[in-house]
Amino acid sequence: MHAPSARTVVLPIGSDTDLPRVRQQVRQTAADLGFGLVAQTKLVTAASELARNTLVHGGGGHAEITPLDDEHARGLRLSFVDSGPGIRDLEAAMTDGYTTGGGLGLGLSGSKRLVREFVLDSRPGEGTTVTITDWVTTGPPARSTGAA
């Protein structure tokens, strides 16, 4: 897991009343970074799904909202962290229609389709962290390997 930066906003996810706060903070941060309305909506939709998963399947946790802004790119990284039961079958969990909670089974796979970067880290008995990142610009430049 990564340590949140000084600019990271950490919001608790412990009840249904926390979910609108997470959505509002994601939308405001995305707007401040220059994301257009469609991109904001995609980020808020993904964040809403992942925050609900954190609450329902992970027993609660927190969201980390980190603006990314340097001379090359502007973006937004969102991490949803819980210390719940974890996901036993990651491949199945990422399959459209897979659900353990009676929903449509589109939370993880749908969220992945809405953003450019998606990382799922889960261990049974240790919890789950889902980190998504999207960019206003095309993303950070490719790093040179130093080989010519």
Parallel, antiparallel, or unpaired: how do β-strands 61-69 and 117-123 relate?
A: unpaired
Segments of the chain scoring below 50 in pLDDT: 1-3, 103-105, 139, 143-145, 147-148
pLDDT of res. 51 = 96
pLDDT of res. 71 = 79
CB within 8 Å of 137: residues ≥ 6 apart: 72, 73, 74, 75
Q: 123 — phi, psi (to 5°)?
A: -135, 130
pLDDT of res. 101 = 54
